[in-house]
Structure 1
Amino acid sequence: MTTLHDVSHRHDGDPALRETDHVAPGSPILELVGLQKKYGGVEALKPANLTFLAGEIHAIVGENGAGKSTLIKLLTGVIPRTAGEIRWCGKPVALATPNEAIQRGINAVHQEVVLCPHLTVAANMFLGDEMESGGLMRQRAMTKAAQNVLDDLGFNLPAGETLANLTIGQQQLVATARAAMRGIRFLIFDEPTAYLTRQESAQLFRLIRRLQLEGVTIVYISHRMEEVFELADRVSVLRDGTHVGTRNIGETDDAELIALMINRSIEQIYHKEQIALGATILETRNLSGPGFSDVSLQVRSGEIVGLYGLIGAGRSEFALGLYGRQPLSGGEVFWDGKKVVIDTERKAMDLGIALAPESRRDQGLCLNLPIGLNINLPVFGRLSHGLTISRRQEASNADRQIADLRIKTPHRSVLASAMSGGNQQKIVIGKWLSHGARLFIFDEPTVGVDVGTKAEIYRLFGKLLREGAGIILISSYLPEVYELSDRLHVFRQGRLVASHDYRAASHEDVLTEAIGV
């Protein structure tokens, strides 16, 4: 049976690069000495001194734009440094290309999956190092070997399945398995649990601990403080491109780390406004469609209705059916008390329903268009006079949303692809604020965003509710949906299995209902 250990020997890299790559556990394996990165006159990473120890789990936390992504790119050879030195096993190294980093055993698992969706899981895992014989790929052998590796890792995934058919969370596990096969010595995880279920996260944590026992150094980047304290030995904080401190995990707490990150207290993060509930905006009765059935719920003006469940439980599928993106097979929808048929997205938009989808990059944004164009996409009809778009109104509307949402950009003409995850999420929200919707469906709205941006998004929820809107909040992060929802619905296997008023049930009750034990 092929295991992770067997396959990883295929990725041992250049022996010449590994001759002196030996350090004792607990000794410095990678050191940054005055490492700096500038883009023109902007310092994305100010001169940083940071040491990673062999065999440790070292967490890095910081707001979006703090320099975390820049650091990853420098360590994996994606971008050149402006100044400073990187020492690997005590000796200066260039890390000038991704190939050099990989050959030294430095790999990264990114928040946004960067694999080939049209290929199988096995083909993605062996991409660039395919098994072949006589010039032909040995697809069956690769599928068998990949399946054995996935089983060895504890990932319940089919190696022969096309990647695009898997959930985003499952694709993230495939990316992790691919990295783990490369003979790693230093592995960076960037928000690895953002799209994972509770069970998938547990599988990943077991793998991380296993890799640590095998001597691999882990860099763990996350906005979820509970994960940092569960896994890490040490934690470093970045703020505005500056390394502001490193702490042993047993000598700090989340209040100190948040204060270092954003100069705000933890009490300011979760903020729920008490808003009087109004009339019912939306009601569904026994609504059914692909992936869900017999869902009945109501959303009132001023109300946050939370949907919680494991990935694949039917929450997102329900939202897509309600929005007209997927066909409904049964049930009824009432808007302001009147029965309506929503069989297209246009009908949903015309009623006043807005959807901020789970995958903002794939479904919520046009990444190759400027921020201003993205924000104005739903309202160009209002900004036009005949066939002519009013440039003044276009600019005014975009600039107003950029200012109101505190989108960090020098100008509306910057491409959406150049923005951080938190700012991209704000752009998605901004375009629907322009539209003037009355019901907002937010599917995983804070995935991959920092605690400061979360607080801003939560305050935005309050603004929408005060103006008479209703919100459907879908989140895999139980503390979020638990603390914010006026009414919390629990999904399991495509059905709504339990409902609770605000804080009427414990975390344990909700988890038990979602898992079904």
Structure 2
Amino acid sequence: MTSTAQELHPAPTLEPGRTILELKGLEKRYPGTHALKPIDLAFKASEIHAIVGENGAGKSTLIKLLTGVMPRTSGDVIWEGKPAALATPHEAMALGINAVHQEVVLCRHLTVAANMFLGEEDSRFGILQQRAMVREAQKIIDDLGFDLPAHVVLGDLTIGQQQLIAAARATVRGTKFLIFDEPTAYLTRKEADQLFTLIRRLKGEGVTIIYISHRMEEVFELADRVSVLRDGTLVGTRNIAETNDAELVKMMINRSIEQVYHKEHFTPGATLLEARNLSGKGFENVSMTVRAGEIVGLYGLIGAGRSEFVTTLYGRHRKSAGQILWEGKQVQVNSEHDAIKLGMALAPESRRDQGLCLNLPVGLNLNLPIYKRISSNLLISSAQEKAEADRQIANLRIKTPTRNALASSLSGGNQQKIVIGKWLAHGAKLFIFDEPTVGVDVGTKAEIYRLFSALLSNGAGIILISSYLPEVYELADTLHVFRRGKLVATHGFHTADHEEILTQALAEKQEKPGGQI
């Protein structure tokens, strides 16, 4: 176990600017798929090197090759001037190569301290020194500037807080080369700022950072250089001071940035859903309506009550007060089954934990809500099952070898398409999207936004939750701002600016009745 909180990683062995890792013709093939075509790329000591590209561009494959999770098909890896096999994760970690993944891969049932020192526990005579580990973990966390407790069970923290713990753990493992994969996907702005401070500190102490993100503003805020992947090919590398987001987006998707946000305005139709003074776990006294043909956006910090509100609408949690009206009639939504029967569909915040059966095929996931419809006398129509799955795969442009591929084998953006696609054939009228573009590239975002327009044109309504203000600002016809479980403000399309909305989400002013400031 690390002896002091200051001994986070070894002193750098190379001067800043010298090449620490070089890839020569690095390539990865799967049966039927050329995931990564031969690339030549060098990473410098003490630099922050961003890698951007659409889902399926080869970023995840590159991470797996560099961390020893899978073997390369061909090519050479030169580490500090010497060839490296990187045949196993243990070999990569022994060299000082670590990764902080988008989806937290720590042990949720253990304490923060136990996760920090997993595999390097402090024990005496076979007995874990838990108090000593908690004290040491707390020193490290405090030294990094994270306001988090070391003694609590990891699963009791938010997903964003767990991500910070994963970053803290990576710093105590002899790290010289640290890969961050979409690290801010679930972080609040405050948490993201803490992470950025850590990243800059690590750079200053000699650690090379690989930063993978779909958020261009983060790339330009942090990176020294940026490399672009497209369809498994390295398109190019730029010094961050010599490029801009428009150039990078065009390199990534071969389209202009103006084509990404796709907003069509429709004349709202009849009211589909109305919440009257609704209260429940994590929120209180919320009233709003959703009409056919409109997007109702919910914005606020993580924990502001947005997700709790929609999961109560969806029957996952019971309301404690208020009314829910569906097409003008009061209804009781006591379960998700009740919500689905009415015509609601939910694409949840965590697609891996709540929206997918990862160990089941793509086709089965897509057809889950409609098996009753394509079955007769308890027998599933194989022809209909295949036809429905293939139709959704084609319509949503899901990149998968076959409908029989496991959902776990697909990229994050394609997994999100499955979560959305499985409800399209169901014929829902109200679609609830909770953080639908987390970890999704700009090309897939554009496809999801066009899907929103298709749903609206067919008379559906949408509730859109997003922690990314530019997204909800550009798409929502009506924008509600949540803070600490209350609806504190409501705006029409572009009737308020970003600064006003952020102030309302963060401010501590006293709310007036009815959700106004």
Question: TM-score, normalised on structure 1?
Answer: 0.96
User: Contact 2:5–2:136 (CA<8 Å) still a contact in 1?
Assistant: no
Report the Cα offset of residue 410 of structure 1. 2.3
Report the residue type matching 2:31 in the other structure.
G
Q: Distance in 1 between matches of 2:429 and 2:139?
A: 50
Residue 51 of structure 1 aligns with which residue?
42
Does the alignment pair 1:261 with 2:226?
Answer: no
Residue 504 of structure 2 aligns with which residue?
513
CA-based RMSD: 1.3
Report the Cα offset of residue 441 of structure 1. 0.4
**Post-superposition, which runs of at least 4 consecutive aligned residues in structure 1 deviate over 3 A?**
1-4
Residue 444 of structure 1 aligns with which residue?
435
User: Contact 1:356–1:443 (CA<8 Å) still a contact in 2?
Assistant: yes
Does the alignment pair 1:310 with 2:301?
Answer: yes
Report the Cα offset of residue 3 of structure 1. 5.4
Does the alignment pair 1:281 with 2:282?
Answer: no
> What secondary structure, in the 3-state scheme, does the structure 2 residue paired with 1:80 have?
coil
User: Contact 2:32–2:401 (CA<8 Å) still a contact in 1?
Assistant: no
> What secondary structure, in the 3-state scheme, does the structure 2 residue paired with 1:286 have?
strand
Residue 514 of structure 2 aligns with which residue?
none
Report the residue type matching 1:487 in the other structure.
T
1:159-170 correspondence to structure 2 within 5 Å: 159-170=150-161
Residue 313 of structure 2 aligns with which residue?
322
1:183-202 correspondence to structure 2 within 5 Å: 183-202=174-193
Q: Distance in 2 between matches of 1:131 and 1:97?
A: 25
Residue 331 of structure 2 aligns with which residue?
340
Residue 58 of structure 2 aligns with which residue?
67
Report the Cα offset of residue 26 of structure 1. 0.6
**Residue by residue, what CA displacement relative to the aligned partner does 1:461-491 show, whole Å, maximum 9, x if unpaired?**
0000000000000001110001000001111
Q: Distance in 2 between matches of 1:448 and 1:75?
A: 20
1:40-119 correspondence to structure 2 within 5 Å: 40-119=31-110
Does the alignment pair 1:464 with 2:450?
Answer: no
Residue 239 of structure 2 aligns with which residue?
248
Residue 6 of structure 2 aligns with which residue?
5
1:124-135 correspondence to structure 2 within 5 Å: 124-135=115-126
> What secondary structure, in the 3-state scheme, does the structure 2 residue paired with 1:320 have?
helix
Q: Distance in 2 between matches of 1:376 and 1:196?
A: 32
> What secondary structure, in the 3-state scheme, does the structure 1 residue paired with 2:247 have?
helix
Q: Distance in 2 between matches of 1:352 and 1:369?
A: 25
Q: Which residue among 212, 228, 233 is the counterpart of 2:224?
A: 233
CA, structure 1 residues 299+41, in 2 after alignment: closer, same or farther (shift >3 Å)? Answer: closer
Q: Distance in 2 between matches of 1:223 and 1:391?
A: 38
> What secondary structure, in the 3-state scheme, does the structure 2 residue paired with 1:447 have?
coil
Q: Which residue among 437, 445, 462 is the counterpart of 1:454?
A: 445
User: Contact 1:284–1:297 (CA<8 Å) still a contact in 2?
Assistant: yes
Report the Cα offset of residue 183 of structure 1. 2.1
User: Contact 2:273–2:291 (CA<8 Å) still a contact in 1?
Assistant: yes
User: Contact 1:323–1:355 (CA<8 Å) still a contact in 2?
Assistant: yes
User: Contact 1:444–1:473 (CA<8 Å) still a contact in 2?
Assistant: yes
User: Contact 1:2–1:149 (CA<8 Å) still a contact in 2?
Assistant: no
User: Contact 2:112–2:151 (CA<8 Å) still a contact in 1?
Assistant: yes
> What secondary structure, in the 3-state scheme, does the structure 1 residue paired with 2:456 have?
helix
Residue 15 of structure 1 aligns with which residue?
none
Residue 146 of structure 2 aligns with which residue?
155
Q: Distance in 2 between matches of 1:448 and 1:165?
A: 23
> What secondary structure, in the 3-state scheme, does the structure 1 residue paired with 2:425 have?
helix
Residue 388 of structure 2 aligns with which residue?
397
Report the residue type matching 2:136 in the other structure.
A
Report the residue type matching 2:6 in the other structure.
H
> What secondary structure, in the 3-state scheme, does the structure 2 residue paired with 1:329 have?
strand
Q: Distance in 1 between matches of 2:75 and 2:393?
A: 35
Q: Distance in 2 between matches of 1:322 and 1:64?
A: 32
Q: Which residue among 197, 211, 226 is the counterpart of 1:206?
A: 197
> What secondary structure, in the 3-state scheme, does the structure 2 residue paired with 1:146 have?
helix
Residue 340 of structure 2 aligns with which residue?
349
Report the Cα offset of residue 422 of structure 1. 0.5
Residue 380 of structure 1 aligns with which residue?
371
Does the alignment pair 1:29 with 2:41?
Answer: no
Count of residues in Structure 1 that have an aligned counterpart in Structure 2: 507
Q: Distance in 1 between matches of 2:87 and 2:365?
A: 35
Report the Cα offset of residue 2 of structure 1. 7.4
User: Contact 1:4–1:153 (CA<8 Å) still a contact in 2?
Assistant: no
User: Contact 2:98–2:179 (CA<8 Å) still a contact in 1?
Assistant: yes
User: Contact 1:107–1:179 (CA<8 Å) still a contact in 2?
Assistant: yes
Q: Distance in 2 between matches of 1:266 and 1:125?
A: 40
Report the residue type matching 2:392 in the other structure.
Q
Q: Distance in 2 between matches of 1:423 and 1:91?
A: 37
Q: Distance in 1 between matches of 2:401 and 2:24?
A: 30
Q: Distance in 1 between matches of 2:349 and 2:316?
A: 13
Report the Cα offset of residue 387 of structure 1. 1.2
Question: Any stretches of 5+ residues in structure 2 without a counterpart?
Answer: 509-517
Residue 425 of structure 1 aligns with which residue?
416
Q: Distance in 1 between matches of 2:321 and 2:142?
A: 39
1:212-231 correspondence to structure 2 within 5 Å: 212-231=203-222
Report the Cα offset of residue 435 of structure 1. 1.0
> What secondary structure, in the 3-state scheme, does the structure 2 residue paired with 1:347 have?
helix
User: Contact 2:6–2:143 (CA<8 Å) still a contact in 1?
Assistant: no
> What secondary structure, in the 3-state scheme, does the structure 2 residue paired with 1:36 have?
strand
Q: Which residue among 135, 141, 154 is the counterpart of 1:144?
A: 135
Question: Any stretches of 5+ residues in structure 1 without a counterpart?
Answer: 13-17
Q: Which residue among 400, 408, 411 is the counterpart of 2:399?
A: 408
Q: Distance in 2 between matches of 1:263 and 1:171?
A: 35
Residue 182 of structure 1 aligns with which residue?
173
Residue 512 of structure 2 aligns with which residue?
none
User: Contact 1:4–1:180 (CA<8 Å) still a contact in 2?
Assistant: no
Report the residue type matching 1:342 in the other structure.
V
**Residue by residue, what CA displacement relative to the aligned partner does 1:284-331 show, whole Å, maximum 9, x if unpaired?**
011111111111111010010000111011011111111110121111
**Residue by residue, what CA displacement relative to the aligned partner does 1:160-190 show, whole Å, maximum 9, x if unpaired?**
1111111111111111111011121110000
Report the Cα offset of residue 151 of structure 1. 1.4
Structure 1 residues 227-236 or 32-41, which shifts more?
32-41
Q: Which residue among 483, 491, 494 is the counterpart of 1:492?
A: 483
